[in-house]
């Protein structure tokens, strides 16, 4: 059995659907109704390509199509979205896509190969003033060619299978080439795509509304008449679900909140639980003292009792799994024995902390004190920071928490205005080339917040991306982990469980380990 | 003939007077709730002040093998989601609440009293402008005003205490105290002894400091105790909203925040004890404030 199949089987086994109504009893989709759901934040702008926040995608995904998509009900299989079919030619280093005919934008214009080409050129080679947040995922694209009205061809620099996931990414919304030509920044202000729902209105801090797109190219879809997404988070979300004000929060709720809803609503609630592709990490600013000293970073890494922390915190929060930079028990993760051999993952925490104290003493930082920047938001974010501060306190290090609102936190992360900062990383799928962009040099990936420069780490990353032998690739990934944890620029600490509680009347939505998928609501419906 | 006079007394005349009770017994009899409030506060002050010595555990010490443990002999009030001892956190949390509550109340009341006295004594344009400004502050709900101030001023840690948080809680107290001090001063400034001081050529500052301010000490003390409970409630509310004391500092408001409500279904002790502590202190300060008002101003309570 190939590792991928093991993962999928494991994922299916690990994903639990707790519901009074069996899935088979969902029956035929019904039309009509308004889906009301909670979203934690307002979007800073409306451009999918520039956004990096889950809350933005929850609002924008229903309005746009993508070239490929993750197949509903069959994660992580990929199928065409606006592409009807495609051909891969590894020899010629090309991917050729044939589009569905008669796809319309919401303004009535036709979606053609020109629009796909203009979109991916904007993503891979953004004009001045345009931000392409995930530009490193397009590094292998050399050019985009319009073959005819319904055919578009991508020429690659090197053969890289991870690019297929890039074509299916929900962040890569297809924009109108005509509008882009007149204003390359139009998507930051105007929501106009070819997705199943047409944008209606947005009231900041309150609600985003959308209505069914009658000319959506998938016959019979969408099923819902309207979407209403309300800005709320934390306890308010759970209260709103319990009171029937919203049907769900697709990001998920804490295990305790899910339990509370099950107790309160019984058959009225469905809960999807499974491993998540989201993990918490902490990044040190490697540009300045004291974290320009590898000994200090490694000491703080060694001081964290990940196994003990997960055993305790996992009972009351989503922090359930210990893992490195790749998803634990996944397709690309190493064995537990390998994990335990890495700095920071030892089960003998007292010995590790003794080594940490020695390293700090050697570095002249035995009484180290620093500020840890923490994003305010769901309580789990602060809980994670409290956990870290407590672990470091045990080796005599004082981490003062600076809890800031999301915009200030994002600004600190982007501008390297921090000493140490907690961070969250959610991946679309298990793909090391994409997932490890959080841990390579800043020159290669602006998602990497540590501002370090490590050619050795970058070289391993680049080699695994084009390695076609699965075994050899796994070996490279183990080497990457060893180098990363030894240098300790950014530390993966805990992986989360995803627990989505929803009104039992809500059907047709696909649960996956990624927060970012299945948000276009094209197949979602409400039973009477 | 009947002797209408009582037989001669064998002792001194005052021996037949009803026996006078000690002051403290009279205090308990006249102000039972105030005394209870005072006693509770003394206990809480002492317990919080001695938290370092009497708390069974370090309030920040986690034990992930013992999270959400029910009250037991090891942990009298149980443990929280980090396995921290709740009794220790309640004791240390008392320090936070009382320090912020008392300091914010004293700062706010003192500034308010100074402004109120000065505006009433000086009068004219100064009084007019100051009064309008204080009325604007009064028009904004206390909690909203503190919320806005905390959110805009950010944090300013001085010896581990967020000074901006203390100021944010103190500011809403200022106009309330100023109004009371002003009304008291308007009465006092017409008193003969103030006129006499003025006739003797004493300076305004001397008259305010030596002849007016001591005469509003009563209402000042009453209001300080009243505002302490208000300040403690605001601190708890701000911490609950994530704008007050920063984790992992022990704070009663913070102990109720985050996922505490969800955990409370399975471990109710994590919200009961900090909640009871807040209620107890606020109620005690209110009872003490009522008693002090009756003591300092018996006329006001005569009709009640």
Interface test with B, best of A390, A406, A499 (most B CBs within 10 A): A390
Confirm whether B211 is domain-assigned: yes
Confirm whether B210 is domain-assigned: yes
Distance CA A428, CA A423 (A): 17
Q: Do B266 and A256 touch (CB under 8 A)?
A: yes
With CA atoms as reference, report the closest residue to A353 among A408, A290, A308: A308
Q: To the nearest whole angstrom, how far is the Cα of B65 from the nearest Cα of chain A?
A: 6
B73 touching A, CB under 8 A? no
Does pLDDT of A25 surpass 80? Answer: no
Distance CA A256, CA B210 (A): 61
For residue range A454-463, list pLDDT tens digits in order: 999 999 999 9
CA within 13 Å, CB half, A452: 25
A184-205 mean pLDDT: 95
What pLDDT shows up at residue A21? 40
For residue range B111-163, list pLDDT tens digits in order: 999 999 999 988 889 889 999 999 998 888 888 888 888 878 877 776 667 78
Nearest residue of A to residue B84, measured between CA atoms: A390
What pLDDT shows up at residue A1? 35
Distance CA A157, CA A489 (A): 30
Distance CA A217, CA A490 (A): 44
What pLDDT shows up at residue B129? 92
Q: Do A403 and B63 touch (CB under 8 A)?
A: no
B256-261 mean pLDDT: 79
The DSSP bridge pattern shows strands A369-375 and A398-404 to be parallel
Does pLDDT of A2 surpass 80? Answer: no
What pLDDT shows up at residue A373? 95
Does pLDDT of B172 surpass 70? Answer: yes
| Residue A26 binned pLDDT confidence (cut-offs 50, 70, 90) | low
What pLDDT shows up at residue A114? 97
Among B155, B242, B263, the residue with its CB nearest the CB of A316 is B263
State the ipTM, two decimals.
Answer: 0.74
Distance CA B238, CA B168 (A): 10
Q: Do A263 and B248 touch (CB under 8 A)?
A: no
The phi and psi torsions of A134 (rounded to 5 degrees) equal -110, 40
Distance CA A200, CA B140 (A): 35
Domain carrying residue B98: 75-297
Confirm whether B246 is domain-assigned: yes
Q: To the nearest whole angstrom, how far is the Cα of B96 from the nearest Cα of chain A?
A: 17
What pLDDT shows up at residue A16? 53
CB A144 within 8 A of CB A153: yes
Distance CA A512, CA A274 (A): 8
A415-442 mean pLDDT: 91
Helix, strand, coil distribution of chain B in percent, nearest 5? 70, 0, 30
For residue range A132-149, list pLDDT tens digits in order: 988 888 888 999 999 999
With CA atoms as reference, report the closest residue to B233 among B189, B286, B178, B273: B286
CATH number for the domain including B153?
A: 1.10.3720.10
Enter the tokens of residue A356.
Answer: 């940490």
Confirm whether B28 is domain-assigned: no
Total residue length of chain B: 304
For residue range A335-370, list pLDDT tens digits in order: 999 999 999 999 999 999 999 999 999 999 999 999
Determine which helix (DSSP H) or strand (DSSP E) holds A425, and give its type and residue range.
strand A420-426
- Domains detected in chain A: 32-247+505-528 (3.40.190.10), 275-497 (3.10.105.10)
What pLDDT shows up at residue B156? 75
| Residue A7 binned pLDDT confidence (cut-offs 50, 70, 90) | very low
| Residue A66 binned pLDDT confidence (cut-offs 50, 70, 90) | very high
The phi and psi torsions of A329 (rounded to 5 degrees) equal 60, 25
Nearest residue of A to residue B265, measured between CA atoms: A260
For residue range A204-217, list pLDDT tens digits in order: 989 999 999 999 99
Distance CA A413, CA A471 (A): 35
Confirm whether B44 is domain-assigned: no
For residue B52, the Cα-to-chain-centroid distance in whole angstroms is 23
Confirm whether B47 is domain-assigned: no
What pLDDT shows up at residue B302? 53
Interface test with A, best of B57, B64, B253 (most A CBs within 10 A): B64
CB A450 within 8 A of CB A285: yes
Interior angle at CA B128, CA B126 and CA B134, nearest 5: 100
Among B63, B157, B262, the residue with its CB nearest the CB of A256 is B262
Confirm whether B57 is domain-assigned: no
Total domains in chain B come to: 1
Determine which helix (DSSP H) or strand (DSSP E) holds A96, and give its type and residue range.
strand A94-99
B268 touching A, CB under 8 A? no
Show the beta-strand stretches assigned E in B97-255: 157-158, 161-162
For residue range B78-93, list pLDDT tens digits in order: 999 899 999 999 999 9
Distance CA A445, CA A437 (A): 6
Percent of chain B whose pLDDT exceeds 90: 41
Task: Report CA-CA distances (Å) from A467 to A56, A77, A159, A400, A463.
Answer: 34, 21, 9, 43, 6
Does pLDDT of B72 surpass 80? Answer: yes
Average pLDDT value over all residues in chain A:
90
Nearest residue of B to residue A381, measured between CA atoms: B258
What pLDDT shows up at residue A312? 87
| Residue A17 binned pLDDT confidence (cut-offs 50, 70, 90) | low
Enter the tokens of residue B96.
Answer: 């936070």
């Amino acid at each position: 059995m190939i590792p991928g199949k093991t993962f999928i089987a494991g994922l299916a086994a690990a994903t639990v659907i707790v519901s009074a109504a069996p899935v088979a009893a969902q029956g035929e989709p019904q039309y009509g109704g308004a889906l009301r759901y909670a979203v934690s934040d307002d979007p800073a702008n409306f451009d999918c390509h520039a956004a990096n926040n889950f809350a933005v995608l929850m609002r924008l995904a229903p309005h746009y199509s993508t070239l490929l998509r993750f197949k509903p009900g069959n994660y992580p299989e990929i199928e065409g979205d606006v592409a009807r079919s495609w051909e891969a030619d590894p020899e010629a280093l090309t991917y050729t896509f044939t589009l569905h005919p008669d796809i319309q934008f919401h303004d009535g214009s036709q979606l053609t190969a020109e629009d796909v080409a203009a979109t991916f050129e904007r993503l891979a080679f953004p004009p001045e003033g345009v931000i392409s947040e995930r530009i490193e995922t397009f590094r292998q694209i050399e050019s985009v060619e319009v073959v005819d009205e319904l055919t578009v061809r991508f020429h690659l620099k090197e053969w890289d299978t991870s690019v297929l996931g890039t074509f299916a990414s929900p962040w890569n919304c297809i924009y109108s080439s005509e509008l882009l030509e007149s204003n390359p920044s139009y998507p930051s202000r105007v929501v106009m795509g070819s997705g199943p729902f047409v944008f209606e209105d947005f009231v900041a801090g309150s609600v985003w509304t959308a209505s069914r797109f009658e000319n959506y190219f998938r016959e019979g879809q969408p099923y819902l008449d309207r979407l209403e997404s309300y800005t709320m988070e934390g306890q308010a979300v759970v209260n709103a679900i319990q009171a029937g004000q919203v049907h769900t929060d697709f990001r998920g709720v804490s295990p305790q909140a899910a339990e509370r809803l099950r107790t309160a609503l019984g058959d009225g609630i469905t809960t999807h639980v499974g491993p998540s592709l989201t993990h918490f990490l902490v990044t040190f600013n490697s540009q300045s003292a004291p974290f320009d000293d590898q000994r200090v970073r490694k000491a703080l890494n060694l001081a964290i009792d990940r196994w003990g922390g997960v055993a305790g915190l996992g009972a009351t929060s989503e922090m359930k799994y210990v893992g490195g930079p790749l998803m634990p028990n996944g397709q690309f993760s190493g064995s537990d024995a390998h994990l335990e051999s890495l700095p920071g993952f030892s089960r003998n925490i007292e010995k590790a902390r003794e080594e940490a104290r020695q390293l700090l003493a050697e570095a002249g930082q035995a009484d180290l004190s620093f500020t840890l920047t923490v994003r305010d938001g769901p309580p789990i974010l602060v809980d994670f920071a409290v956990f870290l501060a407590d672990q470091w306190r045990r080796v005599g290090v004082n981490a003062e928490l600076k809890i800031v609102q999301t915009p200030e936190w994002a600004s600190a992360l982007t501008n390297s205005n921090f000493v140490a900062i907690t961070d969250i990383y959610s991946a679309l799928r298990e793909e090391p080339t994409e997932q490890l962009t959080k841990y390579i040099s800043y020159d290669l990936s602006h998602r990497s917040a540590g501002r370090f420069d490590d050619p050795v780490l970058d070289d391993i990353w680049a080699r695994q991306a084009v390695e076609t032998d699965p075994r050899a690739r796994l070996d490279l990934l183990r080497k990457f982990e060893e180098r990363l944890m030894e240098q300790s620029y950014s530390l993966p600490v805990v992986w989360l469980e995803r627990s989505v509680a929803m009104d039992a009347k809500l059907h047709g939505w696909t649960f996956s380990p990624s927060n970012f998928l299945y948000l276009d609501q094209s197949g979602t419906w409400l039973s009477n | 003939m009947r002797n209408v006079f009582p037989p001669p007394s064998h002792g001194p005349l005052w021996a037949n007077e009803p026996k006078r009770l000690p002051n403290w017994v009279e205090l308990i009899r006249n102000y039972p709730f105030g005394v209870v409030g005072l006693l509770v506060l003394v206990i809480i002050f002492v317990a919080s002040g001695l938290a370092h010595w009497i708390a069974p555990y370090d309030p920040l010490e986690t034990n992930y093998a013992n999270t959400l443990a029910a009250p037991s002999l090891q942990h009298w009030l149980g443990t929280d989601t980090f396995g921290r001892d709740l009794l220790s956190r309640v004791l240390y949390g008392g320090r936070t609440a009382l320090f912020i509550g008392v300091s914010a109340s004293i700062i706010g009341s003192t500034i308010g009293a100074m402004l109120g006295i000065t505006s009433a004594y000086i009068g004219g344009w100064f009084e007019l402008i100051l009064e309008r400004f204080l009325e604007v502050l009064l028009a904004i709900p206390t909690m909203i005003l503190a919320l806005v101030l905390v959110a805009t001023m950010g944090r300013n840690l001085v010896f581990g205490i967020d000074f901006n948080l203390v100021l944010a809680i103190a500011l809403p107290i200022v106009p309330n105290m100023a109004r009371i001090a002003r009304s008291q001063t308007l009465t006092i400034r017409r008193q003969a002894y103030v006129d006499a001081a003025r006739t003797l050529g004493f300076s305004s500052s001397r008259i305010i400091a030596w002849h007016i301010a001591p005469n509003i000490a009563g209402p000042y003390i009453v209001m300080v105790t009243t505002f302490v409970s208000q300040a403690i409630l605001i601190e708890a509310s701000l911490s609950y909203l994530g704008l007050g004391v920063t984790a992992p500092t022990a704070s009663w408001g913070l102990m109720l925040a985050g996922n505490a409500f969800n955990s409370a279904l399975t471990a109710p002790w994590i919200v009961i004890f900090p909640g009871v502590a807040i209620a107890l202190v606020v109620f005690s300060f209110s009872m003490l404030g009522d008693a002090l008002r009756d003591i300092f101003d018996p006329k006001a309570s005569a009709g009640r």
